[in-house]
Amino acid sequence: MEGPEYEFVADPMSDQVWDLWTGNADTNTQIFRHLFRADPDNNIKTFDDYDAFLPRHNKFKQGHLHDPFMPAEEVRQKLDQIKGHLVWMPLDYLCDAPMAEKGLQVNAYTESIYT
């Protein structure tokens, strides 16, 4: 196989491939956050953050366009910037939220998995 596309990915660990992937992930993540308020999201660190992140009205469904009054042309322009399906994995999602109830007993195996 020959050609610029093949040469570009011949070394998947190259700085050029990394820059392309991380750039696409940055752009895609920001656009999905802005348009759809998709969760999980790294901006949601506590349950209070989660409540503030959700749509404010019951008539706006989660995962749908967050601002139904945004002009269609603006939505199209944003969607045209998305390349592929790559987004950042939200590793900080609910990182500051208490997940275990006080006094809750867990066995050592379970604790080793979740802590």
Tens of pLDDT, residues 66-104: 888 889 999 999 999 999 999 999 999 999 988 766 666
What are the distances in angstroms from CA 111 to CA 81, 84, 105, 108?
A: 42, 37, 10, 5
Q: Phi, psi (5° rounding) for residue 19?
A: -65, -40
The beta-carbon contacts of 38-42 under 8 Å, at least 24 apart in sequence, are 38/63, 39/90, 39/93, 40/90, 40/93, 40/94, 41/90, 41/93, 42/88, 42/90, 42/91, 42/92, 42/93
The pTM score is 0.75
Note the pLDDT tens digit of each residue in 3-20: 887 888 888 899 999 999
